[in-house]
Amino acid sequence: MSDIARTIGWGFIGASTIAREHMIGAVRAQPGHDVVAVASGDPAHAQRFAHENGIAAAYGSVDALLADPAVQVVYISSTNDRHHPQALAAMAAGKAVLCEKPLALSVEEARGMIDAAQRANVLFATNHHLRNAATHRMLREVVRSGRIGKPLFARVFHAIWLRELVQGWRIDRPGAGGGVILDIGTHDVDALRFILGSEVAEVVGMSQQGPLSKNGVEDGVMAVLRMSDGVLAQVHAAYTVRHAPTGLEIHGDAGSVVASESMTTRPTGTVLLRTAAGEELLPVEHESLYVRGVRCFCDALGGRGRPAADGLDGLRSLEAALAIAEACRTGRAVAVRAGQSAHA
Ligand code: NDP
Protein backbone atom coordinates (compact mmCIF):
# COMPACT_ATOMS: atom_id res chain seq x y z
CA MET A 1 0.00 0.00 0.00
CA SER A 2 1.38 3.45 -0.90
CA ASP A 3 1.86 6.25 1.64
CA ILE A 4 -0.96 8.20 -0.01
CA ALA A 5 -3.37 5.28 0.33
CA ARG A 6 -2.47 4.94 4.00
CA THR A 7 -2.97 8.63 4.84
CA ILE A 8 -6.28 9.68 6.36
CA GLY A 9 -6.93 13.09 4.82
CA TRP A 10 -8.45 15.93 6.80
CA GLY A 11 -10.23 18.81 5.14
CA PHE A 12 -10.35 22.01 7.18
CA ILE A 13 -13.48 24.13 6.73
CA GLY A 14 -12.51 27.56 7.98
CA ALA A 15 -9.06 29.05 7.46
CA SER A 16 -9.02 30.23 11.05
CA THR A 17 -6.60 31.18 13.81
CA ILE A 18 -7.31 28.06 15.90
CA ALA A 19 -6.67 25.91 12.82
CA ARG A 20 -3.34 27.61 12.15
CA GLU A 21 -2.12 27.84 15.74
CA HIS A 22 -3.21 24.45 17.09
CA MET A 23 -5.21 22.10 14.92
CA ILE A 24 -2.99 21.61 11.86
CA GLY A 25 -0.17 20.56 14.17
CA ALA A 26 -2.48 18.38 16.25
CA VAL A 27 -3.62 16.44 13.17
CA ARG A 28 -0.09 16.11 11.84
CA ALA A 29 1.04 14.77 15.22
CA GLN A 30 -1.12 11.69 14.59
CA PRO A 31 0.61 8.94 12.62
CA GLY A 32 -1.13 8.37 9.28
CA HIS A 33 -3.16 11.60 9.38
CA ASP A 34 -2.58 14.81 7.43
CA VAL A 35 -4.37 18.05 6.58
CA VAL A 36 -4.81 17.80 2.81
CA ALA A 37 -7.32 20.55 2.01
CA VAL A 38 -8.69 23.83 3.32
CA ALA A 39 -11.82 25.77 2.36
CA SER A 40 -12.55 29.41 3.04
CA GLY A 41 -15.35 31.71 1.92
CA ASP A 42 -12.53 33.89 0.59
CA PRO A 43 -10.65 31.89 -2.11
CA ALA A 44 -7.56 34.13 -1.91
CA HIS A 45 -7.43 33.58 1.85
CA ALA A 46 -7.73 29.81 1.30
CA GLN A 47 -4.82 29.89 -1.17
CA ARG A 48 -2.65 31.92 1.16
CA PHE A 49 -3.51 29.73 4.15
CA ALA A 50 -2.79 26.53 2.20
CA HIS A 51 0.54 27.89 0.94
CA GLU A 52 1.68 29.06 4.38
CA ASN A 53 0.75 25.77 6.03
CA GLY A 54 1.85 23.27 3.40
CA ILE A 55 -1.69 22.12 2.59
CA ALA A 56 -2.05 20.55 -0.86
CA ALA A 57 -5.49 21.85 -1.89
CA ALA A 58 -7.27 25.19 -1.36
CA TYR A 59 -10.98 25.63 -2.11
CA GLY A 60 -13.28 28.64 -2.20
CA SER A 61 -16.32 26.59 -1.24
CA VAL A 62 -17.32 23.83 1.15
CA ASP A 63 -18.85 21.81 -1.70
CA ALA A 64 -15.56 21.76 -3.58
CA LEU A 65 -13.68 20.56 -0.50
CA LEU A 66 -16.27 17.85 0.16
CA ALA A 67 -15.93 16.63 -3.43
CA ASP A 68 -12.18 16.05 -2.94
CA PRO A 69 -11.70 12.26 -2.62
CA ALA A 70 -8.58 12.80 -0.50
CA VAL A 71 -10.76 14.23 2.31
CA GLN A 72 -12.16 11.66 4.73
CA VAL A 73 -12.42 13.74 7.89
CA VAL A 74 -13.63 17.32 8.21
CA TYR A 75 -12.65 19.78 10.94
CA ILE A 76 -14.92 22.83 11.15
CA SER A 77 -13.58 26.06 12.66
CA SER A 78 -15.49 28.73 10.79
CA THR A 79 -17.53 31.42 12.53
CA ASN A 80 -20.14 29.92 14.82
CA ASP A 81 -23.16 30.56 12.58
CA ARG A 82 -21.70 28.34 9.84
CA HIS A 83 -20.91 25.22 11.91
CA HIS A 84 -24.43 23.78 11.55
CA PRO A 85 -24.90 23.94 7.76
CA GLN A 86 -21.28 22.98 7.09
CA ALA A 87 -21.46 19.96 9.42
CA LEU A 88 -24.70 18.77 7.82
CA ALA A 89 -23.12 19.05 4.36
CA ALA A 90 -19.98 17.18 5.48
CA MET A 91 -21.98 14.39 7.10
CA ALA A 92 -24.22 14.06 4.03
CA ALA A 93 -21.00 13.59 2.03
CA GLY A 94 -20.05 10.74 4.37
CA LYS A 95 -17.25 12.54 6.21
CA ALA A 96 -16.43 12.14 9.90
CA VAL A 97 -16.73 15.56 11.58
CA LEU A 98 -14.83 17.24 14.38
CA CYS A 99 -16.61 20.54 14.98
CA GLU A 100 -15.74 23.58 16.99
CA LYS A 101 -17.92 24.83 19.79
CA PRO A 102 -20.52 26.17 20.03
CA LEU A 103 -21.84 23.43 17.75
CA ALA A 104 -24.59 25.74 16.52
CA LEU A 105 -26.67 28.75 17.52
CA SER A 106 -29.67 26.75 18.79
CA VAL A 107 -30.28 23.49 20.62
CA GLU A 108 -32.49 22.30 17.75
CA GLU A 109 -29.67 22.79 15.25
CA ALA A 110 -27.19 20.93 17.46
CA ARG A 111 -29.66 18.08 17.90
CA GLY A 112 -30.09 18.01 14.13
CA MET A 113 -26.32 17.58 13.75
CA ILE A 114 -26.31 14.59 16.12
CA ASP A 115 -29.22 13.03 14.23
CA ALA A 116 -27.55 13.64 10.88
CA ALA A 117 -24.34 11.97 12.07
CA GLN A 118 -26.33 8.95 13.19
CA ARG A 119 -28.20 8.78 9.88
CA ALA A 120 -24.96 9.03 7.90
CA ASN A 121 -23.20 6.65 10.31
CA VAL A 122 -20.23 8.98 10.69
CA LEU A 123 -18.21 9.94 13.75
CA PHE A 124 -19.15 13.35 15.18
CA ALA A 125 -17.31 15.13 18.00
CA THR A 126 -16.94 18.55 19.60
CA ASN A 127 -13.57 20.24 20.08
CA HIS A 128 -13.90 21.03 23.79
CA HIS A 129 -10.20 21.27 24.64
CA LEU A 130 -10.36 21.93 28.39
CA ARG A 131 -11.32 18.35 29.24
CA ASN A 132 -8.03 17.29 27.65
CA ALA A 133 -5.99 19.37 30.11
CA ALA A 134 -3.95 17.27 32.53
CA THR A 135 -5.05 19.68 35.29
CA HIS A 136 -8.76 19.13 34.70
CA ARG A 137 -8.31 15.39 34.28
CA MET A 138 -6.65 15.41 37.72
CA LEU A 139 -9.57 17.41 39.20
CA ARG A 140 -11.98 14.82 37.83
CA GLU A 141 -9.91 11.99 39.30
CA VAL A 142 -9.79 13.68 42.71
CA VAL A 143 -13.56 14.29 42.73
CA ARG A 144 -14.24 10.69 41.71
CA SER A 145 -11.84 9.31 44.32
CA GLY A 146 -13.82 10.96 47.11
CA ARG A 147 -10.74 12.77 48.48
CA ILE A 148 -12.65 16.06 48.84
CA GLY A 149 -15.78 14.33 50.10
CA LYS A 150 -19.08 15.48 48.68
CA PRO A 151 -18.58 18.32 46.17
CA LEU A 152 -20.61 21.37 47.18
CA PHE A 153 -19.27 24.33 45.18
CA ALA A 154 -17.22 25.06 42.07
CA ARG A 155 -15.65 28.29 40.84
CA VAL A 156 -14.46 28.93 37.31
CA PHE A 157 -12.10 31.84 36.67
CA HIS A 158 -11.93 32.40 32.92
CA ALA A 159 -11.64 36.14 32.45
CA ILE A 160 -8.99 36.82 29.82
CA TRP A 161 -7.87 39.50 27.41
CA LEU A 162 -9.11 38.70 23.90
CA ARG A 163 -6.09 39.08 21.63
CA GLU A 164 -6.43 41.79 18.97
CA LEU A 165 -5.94 39.10 16.30
CA VAL A 166 -9.30 37.46 17.12
CA GLN A 167 -11.28 40.54 18.11
CA GLY A 168 -13.36 40.60 14.89
CA TRP A 169 -16.73 38.80 14.68
CA ARG A 170 -16.58 37.69 18.34
CA ILE A 171 -17.20 41.20 19.63
CA ASP A 172 -19.24 42.86 16.90
CA ARG A 173 -21.33 40.27 15.07
CA PRO A 174 -24.16 38.79 17.13
CA GLY A 175 -25.41 37.08 13.95
CA ALA A 176 -22.13 35.17 13.62
CA GLY A 177 -22.57 33.76 17.11
CA GLY A 178 -20.27 36.30 18.76
CA GLY A 179 -20.10 37.00 22.48
CA VAL A 180 -18.29 35.55 25.44
CA ILE A 181 -21.13 33.29 26.61
CA LEU A 182 -21.20 31.08 23.52
CA ASP A 183 -17.44 31.31 23.09
CA ILE A 184 -15.93 30.81 26.55
CA GLY A 185 -19.09 29.92 28.49
CA THR A 186 -19.55 26.69 26.52
CA HIS A 187 -16.01 25.60 27.46
CA ASP A 188 -16.61 26.42 31.13
CA VAL A 189 -19.81 24.40 31.19
CA ASP A 190 -18.07 21.49 29.50
CA ALA A 191 -15.19 21.53 31.99
CA LEU A 192 -17.66 21.52 34.90
CA ARG A 193 -19.72 18.68 33.42
CA PHE A 194 -16.54 16.70 32.77
CA ILE A 195 -15.07 17.17 36.24
CA LEU A 196 -18.25 16.81 38.28
CA GLY A 197 -19.98 14.21 36.12
CA SER A 198 -23.29 16.05 36.47
CA GLU A 199 -25.51 18.22 34.26
CA VAL A 200 -26.42 21.89 34.49
CA ALA A 201 -29.95 22.09 35.93
CA GLU A 202 -30.61 25.80 36.40
CA VAL A 203 -28.77 29.09 35.84
CA VAL A 204 -28.87 32.76 36.77
CA GLY A 205 -26.54 35.39 35.40
CA MET A 206 -25.67 38.93 34.48
CA SER A 207 -23.61 40.01 31.50
CA GLN A 208 -21.62 43.10 30.70
CA GLN A 209 -21.15 45.12 27.54
CA GLY A 210 -17.75 46.48 28.46
CA PRO A 211 -14.82 48.09 26.64
CA LEU A 212 -14.66 45.63 23.72
CA SER A 213 -18.39 45.23 23.15
CA LYS A 214 -19.99 46.41 19.90
CA ASN A 215 -23.52 45.97 18.55
CA GLY A 216 -24.86 44.64 21.83
CA VAL A 217 -22.49 41.65 22.07
CA GLU A 218 -21.56 40.83 25.67
CA ASP A 219 -17.86 40.76 26.53
CA GLY A 220 -18.17 39.67 30.17
CA VAL A 221 -20.47 37.45 32.21
CA MET A 222 -20.92 36.18 35.73
CA ALA A 223 -23.29 33.26 36.18
CA VAL A 224 -24.25 30.80 38.88
CA LEU A 225 -25.17 27.28 37.82
CA ARG A 226 -27.02 24.72 39.91
CA MET A 227 -25.82 21.30 38.82
CA SER A 228 -28.00 18.18 38.88
CA ASP A 229 -26.03 16.87 41.89
CA GLY A 230 -26.74 20.08 43.84
CA VAL A 231 -23.30 21.67 43.35
CA LEU A 232 -23.43 25.46 42.91
CA ALA A 233 -20.92 26.65 40.32
CA GLN A 234 -19.83 30.22 39.83
CA VAL A 235 -18.61 31.10 36.34
CA HIS A 236 -16.75 34.29 35.45
CA ALA A 237 -15.83 34.64 31.78
CA ALA A 238 -14.66 37.77 30.02
CA TYR A 239 -12.66 39.11 27.06
CA THR A 240 -11.68 42.33 28.75
CA VAL A 241 -9.45 41.46 31.71
CA ARG A 242 -5.72 41.63 31.06
CA HIS A 243 -4.17 40.38 34.26
CA ALA A 244 -6.55 38.06 36.12
CA PRO A 245 -5.38 34.59 37.08
CA THR A 246 -7.45 31.75 35.59
CA GLY A 247 -8.44 28.51 37.24
CA LEU A 248 -11.09 26.07 38.34
CA GLU A 249 -11.83 25.12 41.95
CA ILE A 250 -13.98 22.36 43.42
CA HIS A 251 -14.87 22.61 47.11
CA GLY A 252 -16.22 19.56 48.96
CA ASP A 253 -17.19 18.87 52.55
CA ALA A 254 -13.83 17.13 53.16
CA GLY A 255 -11.45 19.15 51.00
CA SER A 256 -10.82 21.54 48.15
CA VAL A 257 -8.98 20.98 44.90
CA VAL A 258 -7.74 23.97 42.93
CA ALA A 259 -6.40 24.12 39.38
CA SER A 260 -4.47 27.34 38.78
CA GLU A 261 -3.74 28.89 35.36
CA SER A 262 -5.57 26.01 33.71
CA MET A 263 -8.25 27.81 31.66
CA THR A 264 -6.16 28.29 28.55
CA THR A 265 -5.28 26.72 25.23
CA ARG A 266 -1.81 25.93 26.55
CA PRO A 267 -0.74 22.83 28.52
CA THR A 268 0.04 24.69 31.74
CA GLY A 269 -1.11 24.96 35.33
CA THR A 270 -0.92 23.29 38.71
CA VAL A 271 -3.32 21.35 40.93
CA LEU A 272 -3.39 21.83 44.69
CA LEU A 273 -5.33 19.57 47.08
CA ARG A 274 -6.20 20.90 50.55
CA THR A 275 -7.62 18.51 53.13
CA ALA A 276 -7.30 17.85 56.89
CA ALA A 277 -3.97 16.19 56.01
CA GLY A 278 -2.62 19.53 54.70
CA GLU A 279 -1.70 20.80 51.26
CA GLU A 280 -0.46 18.61 48.44
CA LEU A 281 0.62 19.68 44.97
CA LEU A 282 -0.63 16.87 42.74
CA PRO A 283 1.49 15.65 39.82
CA VAL A 284 0.22 16.50 36.33
CA GLU A 285 1.77 15.38 33.06
CA HIS A 286 1.13 18.16 30.58
CA GLU A 287 0.43 17.45 26.93
CA SER A 288 -1.00 19.63 24.15
CA LEU A 289 -4.75 19.74 24.76
CA TYR A 290 -5.41 19.64 21.02
CA VAL A 291 -3.03 16.78 20.26
CA ARG A 292 -4.77 14.71 22.91
CA GLY A 293 -8.23 15.68 21.63
CA VAL A 294 -7.38 14.78 18.05
CA ARG A 295 -5.75 11.53 19.21
CA CYS A 296 -8.98 10.48 20.96
CA PHE A 297 -10.89 11.38 17.79
CA CYS A 298 -8.52 9.35 15.60
CA ASP A 299 -8.72 6.39 17.99
CA ALA A 300 -12.51 6.52 17.86
CA LEU A 301 -12.31 6.70 14.07
CA GLY A 302 -10.27 3.51 14.17
CA GLY A 303 -12.84 1.82 16.42
CA ARG A 304 -10.84 2.30 19.62
CA GLY A 305 -12.54 4.30 22.36
CA ARG A 306 -14.63 7.42 22.00
CA PRO A 307 -13.91 11.06 21.27
CA ALA A 308 -12.93 13.25 24.24
CA ALA A 309 -16.18 15.20 23.78
CA ASP A 310 -18.88 13.87 21.47
CA GLY A 311 -21.83 15.56 19.79
CA LEU A 312 -24.02 15.21 22.88
CA ASP A 313 -21.36 16.95 24.99
CA GLY A 314 -21.43 19.81 22.50
CA LEU A 315 -25.21 19.95 22.65
CA ARG A 316 -25.19 20.01 26.47
CA SER A 317 -22.64 22.85 26.69
CA LEU A 318 -24.60 24.85 24.11
CA GLU A 319 -27.90 24.26 25.91
CA ALA A 320 -26.46 25.56 29.19
CA ALA A 321 -24.72 28.52 27.52
CA LEU A 322 -27.95 29.54 25.79
CA ALA A 323 -29.71 29.29 29.17
CA ILE A 324 -27.08 31.62 30.68
CA ALA A 325 -27.65 34.07 27.81
CA GLU A 326 -31.40 33.93 28.43
CA ALA A 327 -30.93 34.41 32.18
CA CYS A 328 -28.77 37.48 31.49
CA ARG A 329 -31.34 38.86 29.05
CA THR A 330 -34.42 38.31 31.22
CA GLY A 331 -33.01 38.59 34.74
CA ARG A 332 -34.71 35.30 35.58
CA ALA A 333 -33.49 31.85 36.61
CA VAL A 334 -33.60 29.52 33.61
CA ALA A 335 -34.04 25.75 33.91
CA VAL A 336 -31.94 23.49 31.68
CA ARG A 337 -33.77 20.41 30.50
CA ALA A 338 -30.85 17.95 30.58
CA GLY A 339 -30.06 18.79 34.20
CA GLN A 340 -33.69 18.59 35.27
CA SER A 341 -34.07 15.09 33.90
CA ALA A 342 -30.69 14.01 35.34
CA HIS A 343 -31.92 15.30 38.71
CA ALA A 344 -35.28 13.49 38.54
P1 NDP B 1 -10.95 33.40 13.25
O2 NDP B 1 -11.58 34.73 13.39
O3 NDP B 1 -9.49 33.30 13.19
O4 NDP B 1 -11.54 32.69 11.94
C5 NDP B 1 -12.92 32.54 11.73
C6 NDP B 1 -13.23 32.71 10.26
O7 NDP B 1 -12.95 34.04 9.87
C8 NDP B 1 -12.38 31.84 9.37
O9 NDP B 1 -12.95 30.57 9.28
C10 NDP B 1 -12.40 32.63 8.07
O11 NDP B 1 -13.58 32.38 7.35
C12 NDP B 1 -12.47 34.06 8.53
N13 NDP B 1 -11.12 34.62 8.46
C14 NDP B 1 -10.17 34.62 9.43
N15 NDP B 1 -9.07 35.26 8.99
C16 NDP B 1 -9.32 35.69 7.73
C17 NDP B 1 -8.60 36.41 6.76
N18 NDP B 1 -7.35 36.84 7.00
N19 NDP B 1 -9.17 36.64 5.55
C20 NDP B 1 -10.43 36.22 5.29
N21 NDP B 1 -11.19 35.52 6.19
C22 NDP B 1 -10.63 35.27 7.38
O23 NDP B 1 -11.61 32.50 14.39
P24 NDP B 1 -10.99 31.57 15.51
O25 NDP B 1 -9.92 30.70 15.03
O26 NDP B 1 -10.69 32.39 16.68
O27 NDP B 1 -12.30 30.69 15.85
C28 NDP B 1 -12.84 29.81 14.89
C29 NDP B 1 -13.76 28.81 15.56
O30 NDP B 1 -13.01 28.04 16.48
C31 NDP B 1 -14.89 29.42 16.36
O32 NDP B 1 -16.03 28.61 16.25
C33 NDP B 1 -14.40 29.41 17.80
O34 NDP B 1 -15.46 29.31 18.73
C35 NDP B 1 -13.56 28.14 17.79
N36 NDP B 1 -12.42 28.18 18.73
C37 NDP B 1 -12.22 27.10 19.53
C38 NDP B 1 -11.17 27.03 20.39
C39 NDP B 1 -10.96 25.80 21.20
O40 NDP B 1 -10.05 25.78 22.00
N41 NDP B 1 -11.73 24.76 21.02
C42 NDP B 1 -10.23 28.17 20.52
C43 NDP B 1 -10.47 29.24 19.58
C44 NDP B 1 -11.55 29.22 18.73
P45 NDP B 1 -13.69 31.12 6.34
O46 NDP B 1 -14.39 30.07 7.14
O47 NDP B 1 -14.54 31.61 5.24
O48 NDP B 1 -12.31 30.73 6.01
CATH number of the domain that 219 lies in? 3.30.360.10
Sign of the alpha-carbon dihedral angle for 44, 26, 195, 96: positive
Residue 302 and residue 335 in one domain:
no
Total structural domains in the chain?
A: 2
Positions of the chain with pLDDT under 50: 1-4
Q: Which of 13, 17, 52 to probe ligand 1 with, by most ligand atoms within 8 A of CB? A: 17
Q: Which atom of ligand 1 is nearest to the CA of 168?
A: 2
Residue 242 and residue 147 in one domain:
yes
For 300-330, what is each residue's pLDDT tens digit? Answer: 999 999 999 999 999 999 999 999 999 999 9
Q: CB burial class (10 A; 0-12, 13-18, 19+) of residue 253?
A: exposed
Instruction: Give the Å distance between the CA of 78 and the centre of ligand 1.
Output: 5
Instruction: Give the Å distance between the CA of 151 and the centre of ligand 1.
Output: 36
Residue 98 and residue 204 in one domain:
no
Residue 76 and residue 138 in one domain:
no
Residue 110 and residue 7 in one domain:
yes
Residue 231 and residue 203 in one domain:
yes
**Maximum CA extent, the chain:** 62
Q: Pocket residues for ligand 1 (CB within 6 Å)? A: 14-18, 40-42, 45, 77-80, 100-101, 127, 129, 166, 168, 183, 265
pTM, to two decimals: 0.96
Residue 322 and residue 271 in one domain:
yes
Q: State the residue range of the domain holding 173.
A: 133-288+318-343
Residue 226 and residue 119 in one domain:
no
Residue 95 and residue 209 in one domain:
no
CATH code of the domain containing 63: 3.40.50.720
For 85-141, what is each residue's pLDDT tens digit? Answer: 999 999 999 999 999 999 999 999 999 999 999 999 999 999 999 999 999 999 999
Q: Which atom of ligand 1 is nearest to the CA of 39?
A: 48
Nearest residue by C-alpha to atom 18 in ligand 1: 45
Instruction: Give the Å distance between the CA of 232 and the centre of ligand 1.
Output: 33
**Residue 223 main-chain phi, psi, to 5 deg:** -135, 155
Residue 260 and residue 213 in one domain:
yes
Residue 124 and residue 191 in one domain:
no
In sequence order, what E strands does 100-161 have?
A: 124-126, 151-159
Nearest residue by C-alpha to atom 37 in ligand 1: 100
Residue 169 and residue 303 in one domain:
no
Q: How far apart are CA 217 and CA 86, in angstroms?
A: 24
